Structure 1
């Protein structure tokens, strides 16, 4: 079977080709972190915006940080890839063409700031995951003692994301390239504000005059809007690629899989203009992202993490299988209703009850096969916004976040126990894996391990572990997990 390429587009089934001729699309966006999520979410919405407005100037230069896998997948295909949208009713497919260039920062680190300095580039977007920012999740500040960050600040071609951004903005300043917006699309609270702070922290590492000049240019020429993204994108499998080939009649090495639902809430603050996203279903342009962001982080992502750790410990490999379990589904419903929703400032007119129903339906979508192990990755970076924020707000209101505490205890057991309850090995893929192992790895995944992990300041900070109510709830849940496993801990938490 021939491979997907620009030459193969004429032979695709009707209605499955790109919305715009790829050869007519210019580059107006540089995206750092061109993984499956971006290709199934922001890139799709941007292609639709270009088609709706008849403005093909917003194509994407995608930057991968370390791995060349995406370049190997998309490069021979001229940047083309297919998106499989799966529901219980079947699969829809379309080839997408907004990605016009590809770079690997590892192989050519100097190319990234140079690309950011192109005057035709007016938006920079990012999906590098929480760990990619090399920041302390508890304080939201750049880890300025990080050797890679310091090497970037010392003048080498930058290899960290914040270094790439800062040096790219510096190159725009030097070349008078005009205004630009830097749009963070990762799951960080107030992500635009946080990213602006990380870039400012990087400026502080530069020589005083150099740093001050860059700070002044950024203040006058750059904006850092916040955004909230919501679409479930599981890792692509060989089975998915085979289905894409069957539906399209060509082999696609870059296929991605997603669900029908999509949402992108964007703070409308773009210094140099933006695509016409307002014409695209699923996009909300607003002056205040925070209510949507908190709702998504605490409800969807918080429940996802709880399911990943508790479901993973119980032996469930996929989210849909986990929420088919009555105890886990009951836990999720009460977690939302009793502990998360009371902490939210729900946007006017938003039906939060219907949102909970829709989330559970999305989790239960049998066609997605979203792996709990994929969601469990990088937990040290995710816990502060997904679970700890809920616990902190419930405690401040005089509540007892018993179910949230169980999810946190589930994380602690997941990263220290070594195996699930059925003997399946549990891999710990986390930037703080070594620190977590030092803190709790010798305690066998039980209450003692959980108590030790509460002392990891990069995750928990100082205030929350010092709260006797919080500490007692988490350790009580850890004891239940150690004594009787997930099933016992769920029953006790739900009865409490």
Structure 2
């Protein structure tokens, strides 16, 4: 029997079920990009918040990149199994999803949901490349979704276009605006998204809408953290064993979860703190900590690990030399952070324990995607600060060299980077054994490597390490670096 709203707890199966009646709650959130992470994070927190008290906060999910999630969840009335893989797997049934919108008529259906009076939050997990925003501020006219929506602003299909048109329709109908909540790994994600939406609205709809958004719409920043690998056949098999039901939408994640949120929700919000979220006046220090210590070391180990034959993060941590480099990277990243009321050494210990968890099959290849979008905030920003402080830049140079080696040759695996064509063009006439030439070609990519890192000590340190990787091979280069 398949999981659905008609299903309930079965004797002999340990899964936990929602502590409320999901169908008695109305929808209050429209979520753009309902992938596995969103279901392991914001949906799980929302489920916990509704179990802790009243509130119409169920989520209408929107799948912008295909219909697989909708085809899995809608026949199950939005129910799915969330498996937390610790020493023993723990399963819970999440009831926070009211349904999923996908397919060719996505725009009108999403806009209809956004203009319901009960919609008070539009949340987003589409990864950085899904927004079409510029780190320097504003929208990226060259992004396919942005370009298309600028031509047809009343019939949008992209993130910025949907938000701008949704707000325009609410204002026209006399409704208060919803809060826009980015849950992606972007530095100052609320600030960046706000600038992009206002810029898009001005270009597509005119200054009046842009000014209303600037003056009336809240874009709180957030920091999110939960390792969520892709679901597999084992995920679905374990879900059946723990619940007694077939579940095509089952996902797995680690026991650890963290969500730090700027508390600005004028239209109201779920009691996410009841599920463990932390509300603070300023997210930035926590965001930097996570981006540089966790995400930065994740990127480094993904490239170095993949190129040395390590399929999973736990395989990387089982290798003494690589594990030492992971710890070194965290220590170097911590030294670039502002003062924060946290024990950063203890945080690094916890990260290493999480990375080493053999129950989480998090592929290095999965983490390695979208490098041009991730490296600027994860690697380059702390590298610049390390240079300014006179600290050793070797950990950041090693990570950069590993990414360059990965771009150069990944075997039969795709690069999975939104700037793949630019990267290929940059390397087209570059000798594959010339580390300096490779560095110069990739460093010249527009809006990527900061000027302060494209020459001098950082450039020299990166070229040295890339040269080792090319001449010695990745495994020997790792051993040499870890000495």
TM-score between both structures, scaled by the size of structure 1 = 0.93
Match of 1:382 among 352, 374, 378: 374
Aligned to 1:23: 23
CA offsets, 1:29-56, max 9 Å, x none? Answer: 111100000101111111111111222x
1:274 shift after superposition = 0.6
- Say if 1:227 and 1:264, in contact at 8 Å, map to a contact too: yes
| 1:284-303 paired onto structure 2 within 5 Å | 284-303=278-297
Aligned to 1:458: 447
Aligned to 2:53: 53
- Say if 1:308 and 1:373, in contact at 8 Å, map to a contact too: yes
Aligned to 2:149: 152
Aligned to 1:439: 426
| 1:101-250 paired onto structure 2 within 5 Å | 101-104=99-102, 106-137=104-135, 139-156=136-153, 157-206=155-204, 210-250=205-245
Secondary structure at 1:92 match in 2: strand
TM-score between both structures, scaled by the size of structure 2 = 0.95
Task: Measure, in 1, the Cα distance between the counterparts of 2:320 and 2:207.
Answer: 57
Secondary structure at 1:62 match in 2: strand
Task: Measure, in 2, the Cα distance between the counterparts of 1:246 and 1:441.
Answer: 51
Secondary structure at 1:31 match in 2: strand
Task: Measure, in 1, the Cα distance between the counterparts of 2:280 and 2:288.
Answer: 15
Aligned to 1:344: 337
Aligned to 1:476: 464
Tell which deviates more after alignment, 371-380 or 389-398.
389-398
- Say if 2:106 and 2:157, in contact at 8 Å, map to a contact too: no
Aligned to 1:449: 438
Task: Measure, in 2, the Cα distance between the counterparts of 1:261 and 1:418.
Answer: 31
Structure 2: gaps (5+ residues) = none
Task: Measure, in 1, the Cα distance between the counterparts of 2:15 and 2:404.
Answer: 48
Task: Measure, in 2, the Cα distance between the counterparts of 1:325 and 1:250.
Answer: 38
Aligned to 1:80: 79
Aligned residues: 479
CA offsets, 1:181-240, max 9 Å, x none? Answer: 11111001000000001112212312xxx4222122213331000000011000000011
Secondary structure at 1:347 match in 2: coil
- Say if 1:80 and 1:96, in contact at 8 Å, map to a contact too: yes
CA distance 1:376–1:466, change in 2 (3 Å): closer
Task: Measure, in 1, the Cα distance between the counterparts of 2:211 and 2:416.
Answer: 39
CA distance 1:489–1:333, change in 2 (3 Å): same
1:177 shift after superposition = 1.6
Tell which deviates more after alignment, 19-28 or 141-150.
141-150
* RMSD value, Cα: 1.7
Task: Measure, in 1, the Cα distance between the counterparts of 2:14 and 2:346.
Answer: 36
- Say if 2:34 and 2:125, in contact at 8 Å, map to a contact too: yes
Secondary structure at 2:6 match in 1: helix
Aligned to 2:387: 395
Task: Measure, in 2, the Cα distance between the counterparts of 1:113 and 1:184.
Answer: 18
Q: Structure 1: which 4+ aligned runs deviate by more than 4 Å? A: none
- Whether 1:365 and 2:354 are equivalent positions in the alignment is no
Task: Measure, in 2, the Cα distance between the counterparts of 1:76 and 1:63.
Answer: 15
1:412 shift after superposition = 1.0
CA offsets, 1:80-133, max 9 Å, x none? Answer: 00000001x210001110000211265422222222122211111110001101
Aligned to 2:476: 488
CA offsets, 1:287-311, max 9 Å, x none? Answer: 0000100000111111111010000
Aligned to 1:100: 98
Task: Measure, in 1, the Cα distance between the counterparts of 2:339 and 2:162.
Answer: 36
Task: Measure, in 2, the Cα distance between the counterparts of 1:193 and 1:488.
Answer: 43
- Say if 1:340 and 1:390, in contact at 8 Å, map to a contact too: yes
CA offsets, 1:254-288, max 9 Å, x none? Answer: 0010111010000001120111112222x110000
Task: Measure, in 1, the Cα distance between the counterparts of 2:215 and 2:48.
Answer: 31
Tell which deviates more after alignment, 60-69 or 111-120.
111-120
Tell which deviates more after alignment, 388-397 or 68-77.
388-397
Task: Measure, in 2, the Cα distance between the counterparts of 1:291 and 1:98.
Answer: 30
1:371 shift after superposition = 0.4
